[in-house]
Structure 1
Amino acid sequence: MLRFLHGLNGSFIVKFLLVLIGISFIGWGFGEGVQQGFSGYVAKVNGQKIPAQVFQRELDLKVSQLRRSMGDNYSEDVLASMNIPQNLLRDKIRDILLLQFAAENNIHVANAELAERINSMDAFKGPLGEFDKNQYKMALQNAGYTVPQFEAGLRTELLVNRISDLFTTARFTNEAEIQRTAEMFSQSRNIRILRVVEADVPAPAKPTDDELNDIYQDMLSNFITPERRTVEVLVFDTAKIAPTISVTEADIEEFYDAHRDEFGEPEGRDVRHILVKDEDTANKVIAELKAGKTFAELAKKYSKDTVTANKGGELGTIYHGDMLAQFDEVAFKIKKNKISEPVKTPFGYHVLEVTNIKLPREQTIAEAKKDIKARLLTERALDQMYDAIDNADADLASGASLQEVQQSFGGELKTYASLDPQGADVNGKYPDMINAAAVLDKAFTIDENIPSTVVNLSETQKAFVNVSEVEAPRQRTFDEVRDELAEVYKRENIERAVLAKATQIMAQRKKGDSFETLVKRHKLTAPIQTIVGISRLEPSKNQMVSGAVQEQIAALKEGEVLPRVFPTKLGAAIYEVTKVEDGDIDTKLKDQVKLTLSSVMANDLFAQFQEALQDNANIKINEDQLAAAEKTVIRE
């Protein structure tokens, strides 16, 4: 760690780290240094307060999102076990410390950078691909954020990334460790799997009512019907509005005259390229091209662009602005069939050749007529839709119902009866609904018979949502779930029996008995399975080899057995390695290993840096406020 930091002497971040990391990391427990007397705040971080109201709002949003995302796996017990308030508070404290560090060291995100990031997000773009302020506000509203909240969060994210980027210069340079790791990664293993399955154990006895009731009491929270809501959705859709709009020949001519420069084909160039990692390699490629080798041959040999390498480096026709600025400038400067000098971009160095030039051409009004009409229809339909939405929003705010708004301003009104948070009706079916995720997200966060504000369904579809009826969750009775309990009892007992038998067999395998002997002795029904070529370099596609199993297998020698039984969907499994083969270690693998180790080092350094910030901070937690927040996670 310190040897690495010595190599970076001169940067302010390292001088700061050398001081902090010299202090042992003993943890900054939430209960330490708690003081009374700052009611209304969840915590203070170096004097900066986290208001309870802000914390509660973010907690409510996170809990609501988790409830919907967990779907059928949701239960109050699982939600309680996730320690959401504590984790949220830890994240907020981390962000505050990083923001304070950024302020102290003049690290900042300019407004222009923040705006550029927001403008680049597809979710905020209008139908023509431009940033749409109304779309921006509606998307944030549907997600539960205000504009200041979102922009503050995004600015924090950009600042955190900027600070973490300071650590990406870490480079792992221990060649012996790189070689050892590369050797380990290059190895492949052949394995055999012995399985104990349901057919290998006796069927469990029929459960008594007392046994079923014990399961029922343990799983009460699993047998609660979900909250259901009857949802009304009033949709405004430009596709339904467009047929009512007329576009005349005069309209088309007027638009064409006003936007003549937009109609036509700009200059295009057919370009091929070879992408390499450094300038020396690029110059080598240019020399070989001049010596007579073909572009396609060298693209296949050298190019790091895996999409075009086997296609002769062909990028097809590009237009100004399609590529990065450095690439674009050269591509539209060099002559046809000439090879460029090396062009540097963030991806590496490119060698370009222009194989064809398509001169710009202006479209006639006859050629542009279809596009102009479609554009005018889209723009006018959007204008009408937004006018209707604005009027509808105002009427709804004044107490009008969705039905009254539809009569006044149109739209299509649909009612979906008794939906759960995932959108299923009482029969388990999912009705056809435009952007169900956005509608349900809104429907399960608004009060009964108080219509929502505008919900963004798509660029051309907006809606208002109302909940006309709410059915509260209900505990299902023992008799209602008796069959389900019996199935749980059966599965649990079979799984226990299978695991117990597999554990007994594992003990015998460890004493030296072969798989063949064990299969015969215990009359196992599943055949011994053989899998070849298990390697760290490629995830196994076999359902019997999970990522955890694969990682542990990679550490075994020939003849060794994984030390424990693994439950799988296909039974309890025992794994043995039958062969270990060394693979080839090339420059590409070593570079990959070096990059991986460097990334691990950088992440570790950043984690230690954050821990050091916390160790040296004055952090005070208002335990009463945190406890109050915890109580809101689980519905009473």
Structure 2
Amino acid sequence: MLEAIRNRAQGILAWVIIGLIAIPFTLWGINNYFRDGGETIAASVNGEEITISEFRTAFQHYLQQIRLLIGQGFSENMLDDPAIKQNVLNSLVEQRLILETVTKLGLNMSDSDLSQVIQTNKTFQDETGRFDSALYESVLNSEGLEPAEYESRLRLALLSEQLVSTLRFSAFVTQQELEDIARLRYQQREISYGIIPVSKYYDTAHIDEGKLHEYYNDHPDEFQIPEQVVINYLRLTGESLAKDISINEQVLHNFYEEIKNQYTVPEQRRASHILISITPENDKTAQQEAQQVLERLQKGESFEKVAKEVSKDAGSAKNGGDLGFFGRGVMDPAFEQAVFSLKQVGDLSKPILSKFGYHIIKLTGIQPGKAKSFDEVREELAQKYRQQQAEDQFYEKADILDNLTYENSSSLEMAAEALGLMIETSKPFPRGGGSGIAANPKVVAAAFSEEVLEEGINSQAIELGPNDLVVLRVNRSIPAYIQPFEEIQKEIKEKLTRSEAKTKIQELGEEFIKRLQQGESPEIVFAEEGVNWSEKRFYTREDINADIPPEILITAYGLSRSELEGSVFAGQLLKTGDYAVLGIYSVRDGDFNKLDEKTRQSLIQEIERSRGEITYRSFIEGIKSKAKIKLYPENL
């Protein structure tokens, strides 16, 4: 189990700590187990509340992950998408149900397993790759967490992920099922085709001006430009303030002295242990067993050998009991006290009792505590100082911005002058939003509000994100209008030309199909139009990257096996506007036993994943049906 947890932990902690979703069970998902009530709630599950702050954290994490995945395709409009909000809330509800199930089942994880998960995570390691307890505490402190609280949350999150993984990876598939699926999945159909290009008929299309006017008059909505506005705005951000903050060496040295304790690396120790767990069978003899192990070690037996032989901590036993380096606040309190009480490397402890059983501990290494020098942390200090100063300035200037734009509601100039900000101007945008700042739905809503659009006053300060405020006013309003015929005459002609050409090639293609069905040679028929007819070739349904348009494959595999008696011809309009005629001549079924090993394993894993997901969803729906769930979408 430990290896699986350690592999997952690199994703869990590295992302959770910096504020991103890495797995379904992030630490914010279990906040309710460690907090008091009193907040507005988004949902309740069996009486346990999911607060609005938990929802907002999850929602922001989700959007951040989506932004990373789709890059420039990300739209700020997603911030107000009810469907996305509902999906995030549903996910939180499911997380809460899984967490309850873990608690009811009494699942647990040893302190040594948890310790190794924490210590092997790069988020908490120094430049040499060693666990840094000061960094660990600093990162947790920045998130408002104490080590004990964080470790309780992490333990529960990891156990929850373990339960979900068990459900998702419990499915299997029989040999017969594999053969049946492979028969269809890797079936091949012998296909040839010809494509009639729509461009050949552009010149033959006759679109007179009368048709253009007729289309223009019959489709006014198509040429209507909606109401638009241009806005002036002031934007105050912590990021821009930080760039303008100058720093001298004396200021940095003073700042270093103020927060020097954050850069102190406390003593770390490396230890190995042998665990004698307490069970109903050995409840009265466990201490005696531990004492016997200690006596073996005192007589000179190898600690590593004995650990591999008798230790019940499977995660460390295979490494001779080695737990690596760790600082205070990581291990079980009794275990930790024993480790830090040992005087010299090589010393052995007496049997130490923890909630996991009796431990025999060997001290194997000591790293004395030390403080990082000013030079080592200078760049980080400068960044922290700028952020701190920028945040202080931001709140002061935010009040000034809010007050001056409210008191001088007909202008942004006084606030701009007082704060040293530039009044910026947007491009025209409609109620549906635009680009740049107009992509933000909060900005669009304010610009088209009655107070701003009709009364002509400044908007309230709008929070676009952390330390990011904007105040706007309408520069000018552009009423809705229909584009003049002269401006879009060319566009209409191109559209009607394409439409008429498509009709002509579709009619021609259908005529060709009839001739082919009557036995004429495809090569001869298509040569009449100067079009090439391809050679026959076998394609699978997944050959989407081959030299064949995907629509042709979709059409070919859309025909049932019973329809493929002899040579069959069909037609398909392509997304390019061209028209394809295809012939299907024969079918070869897929054979699982003839697939290469990599493909066979990939198919097995795909099917098992799919069935595992079905098992998981069935489990979730089952516990949902028995739970008392209340959603409050109006609070989102």
TM-score (norm 1): 0.51
Aligned residue for 1:215? 215
Check 1:542–1:607 CA distance in 2 against 1; reply closer, same or farther (3 A cut).
farther
Q: Which residue of 2 aligns with 1:409?
A: 419
Q: Secondary structure at the match of 1:576?
A: strand
Q: Distance in 2 between matches of 1:396 and 1:202?
A: 58
CA contact (8 A) 2:231 2:447 kept: no
User: Partner of 2:371 in structure 1?
Assistant: 362
Answering whether residue 428 of structure 2 is matched by residue 418 of structure 1, we say yes
- Equivalences for 1:521-532 in 2 at 5 Å? 522-526=528-532, 528=534
Cα pair 2:196 2:579 within 8 Å, conserved: yes
Q: After superposition, what is the alpha-carbon deviation per residue over 1:144-167, rounded to whole angstroms, capped at 9, x for unaligned?
A: 699xx999985455337878999x
SS in structure 2 of the partner of residue 380 of structure 1 = helix
Among 557, 571, 596, the alignment partner of 2:610 is 596
CA distance in 1, matches of 2:91, 2:461: 28
- Which residue in 2 is equivalent to 1:111? 50
Q: 2:205, 2:501 within 8 Å by CA — same for their partners in 1?
A: no
Residue of structure 1 equivalent to 2:386: 377
What secondary structure is seen at the aligned counterpart in 2 of 1:394?
helix
2:69 corresponds in structure 1 to none
Q: Which residue of 1 aligns with 2:490?
A: 483
What secondary structure is seen at the aligned counterpart in 1 of 2:194?
strand
Could you tell me how far 1:454 is from its partner in structure 2? 3.5
Decide whether aligned partners of structure 1 residues 461 and 546 sit closer, same or farther in structure 2, where only a CA change above 3 A counts. farther
Cα offset, 1:561, TM superposition: 4.3
Residue 582 of structure 2 corresponds to 575
Q: Which residue of 1 aligns with 2:550?
A: 545
Task: Measure, in 1, the Cα distance between the counterparts of 2:366 and 2:546.
Answer: 46
- Conservation of the 8 A alpha-carbon contact between 2:437 and 2:443: no
The equivalent position to 2:525 in structure 1, one of 476, 498, 518, is 518
- C-alpha deviation, 1:248, in angstroms: 5.2
Q: Are positions 1:470 and 2:477 aligned together? A: yes
Percent identity of paired positions between Structure 1 and Structure 2? 15
Q: 1:390 to 1:150 in 2, by over 3 A?
A: farther
Is contact 1:142–1:442 with CA below 8 Å preserved after alignment? Answer: no
Q: Which amino acid aligns with 2:225?
A: T
Q: Any conservation in 2 of the 1:232–1:468 contact (CA below 8 Å)?
A: yes
SS for the counterpart of 1:568 is: coil
Q: Does the CA-based 8 Å contact 1:403-1:413 persist in structure 2?
A: yes
Q: How far apart, in 1, do the equivalents of 2:604 and 2:77 lie?
A: 48
The aligned counterpart of 1:227 is 227
The question of whether the paired residues in 1 share the 8 Å contact of 2:433 and 2:441 is answered with no
Q: Describe the shift of the 1:202–1:120 C-alpha distance in structure 2 as closer, same or farther (beyond 3 A).
A: closer
The 3-state SS of whatever aligns with 2:225 is: coil
How is 1:119-518 mapped onto 2 (pairs within 5 angstroms)? 119=57, 122=60, 143=79, 155=89, 158-159=92-93, 175=174, 176-189=176-189, 191-198=191-198, 200-201=200-201, 203-238=203-238, 240-242=240-242, 245-247=245-247, 249=249, 251-263=251-263, 362-400=371-409, 401-420=411-430, 433=436, 437=440, 441-442=444-445, 444-446=447-449, 447-448=452-453, 449-456=456-463, 459=466, 461-518=468-525
Aligned partner letter, 2:540? I
Mapped to 2, the partners of 1:546 and 1:414 lie a distance apart of: 48
Does structure 2 retain, via aligned residues, the 8 Å contact 1:235–1:463? yes
8 Å Cα contact 1:204-1:493 kept in structure 2: no
TM-score (norm 2): 0.51
Flag the 1:460–1:575 CA change in 2: closer, same or farther, 3 A: farther
For residues 57-116 of structure 1, the C-alpha deviation after alignment (integer angstroms, 9 at most, x for no partner) is: xxxxxxxxxxxxxxxxxxxxxxxxxxxxxxxxxxxxxxxxxxxxx98xx6465437x755
Q: Does 1:586 align with 2:626?
A: no
Q: CA deviation at 1:392?
A: 1.2
* Residues 218 and 594 (structure 1), Cα distance of their counterparts in 2 relative to 1, 3 Å cut: farther
Aligned in 2, Cα 1:107/1:443: closer, same or farther, shift over 3 Å? same
Unpaired runs of 5+ residues, structure 2, are: 1-42, 65-74, 102-163, 270-323, 332-338, 340-364, 627-636
Residue identity opposite 1:387 in structure 2 = E
C-alpha distance in 2, partners of 1:461/1:266?
37
Q: Deviations over 1:304-326 (max 9, x none)?
A: xxxxxxxxxxxxxx9999xxx9x
Q: Compared with structure 1, are the counterparts of its residues 394 and 539 closer, same or farther at alpha carbon in structure 2 (3 Å cutoff)?
A: farther
Q: Please give the alpha-carbon distance, in whole angstroms, between the structure 2 residues aligned to 1:141 and 1:571.
A: 35
Per-residue CA deviation, residues 528-550 of structure 1 (Å, 9 max, x unaligned), is 377765344x7536672149827
1:232, distance to aligned residue in structure 2 (A):
0.9
* Counterparts of 2:485 and 2:415, CA distance in 1: 46
Report the counterpart of residue 289 of structure 2 in structure 1: none
Distance 1:190 1:437, change over 3 A: farther
* Partners of 2:204 and 2:605 in 1: CA distance: 55
Tell me, yes or no, if the aligned pair for 2:541 and 2:557 is still in contact at 8 Å: no
Letter in 1 for 2:416: Q
The alignment partner of 1:596 has SS state of helix
Distance between the aligned counterparts of 1:152 and 1:416, measured in 2?
32
Could you tell me which amino acid in structure 2 is paired with residue 194 of structure 1? G
User: 2:325 & 2:232 partners in 1: Cα distance?
Assistant: 47
SS at match of 2:474: strand
- Match of 2:50, as an amino acid? N
> 2:506 & 2:366 partners in 1: Cα distance?
70
2:264, 2:372 within 8 Å by CA — same for their partners in 1?
A: yes
Which has the bigger relative contact order, CA under 8 A and spacing at least 6? Answer: 1
Q: How far did residue 373 of structure 1 move?
A: 2.4
Superposed displacement of residue 405, structure 1: 1.5
Per-residue deviation, 1:220: 1.6
RMSD over equivalenced CA pairs, Å: 5.4
Distance 2:326 2:189 in 1: 51
- CA change 1:370–1:565 in 2 (3 A) is closer
Specify the code of the residue in structure 1 equivalent to 2:477.
Answer: V
- For residues 552-594 of structure 1, the C-alpha deviation after alignment (integer angstroms, 9 at most, x for no partner) is 3696669754644233305111233466464516244133224
Per-residue Cα deviation, 1:112-160 (whole angstroms, up to 9, x for no partner): 7x7556445556999xxxxxxxxxxxx99995699xx999985455337
Q: CA deviation at 1:179?
A: 3.3
Is the Cα–Cα contact under 8 Å of residues 534 and 540 in structure 1 kept in the other structure? no
User: Residues of 1 paired with 2:49 and 2:458: CA distance?
Assistant: 38
CA contact (8 A) 2:462 2:469 kept: yes
Deviation at residue 404 of structure 1 after TM alignment: 2.1
Q: 2: CA distance between counterparts of 1:160 and 1:253? A: 49
Q: CA deviation at 1:372?
A: 1.3
Structure 1 residues 507 and 465, CA, compared in 2 at 3 Å: closer, same or farther?
Answer: farther
Q: Structure 2: how far apart are the matches of 1:567 and 1:410?
A: 57
The aligned amino acid for 2:93 is: L
CA contact (8 A) 1:109 1:158 kept: no
Quote the Cα distance in structure 2 between the aligned partners of 1:531 and 1:208: 44
For 2:551 and 2:368, the matched residues in 1 are separated by 56
**Alpha-carbon deviations, 1:208-264, whole Å to 9, x = none?**
444334322442211012322111121224454346545455543443234224326
Preserved CA contact (<8 Å) 1:140 1:150 = no
CA-CA distance at 1:495 after TM superposition: 0.7
Higher normalized helix content (fraction of residues) = 2
| Equivalent residue letter for 1:389 | A
Shift of 1:266: 8.8
Which of 391-400 and 224-233 deviates more?
391-400
Deviation at 1:492, TM superposition (A): 0.8
Instruction: Give me the whole-angstrom Cα distance separating, in 2, the residues matched to 1:566 and 1:515.
Output: 18
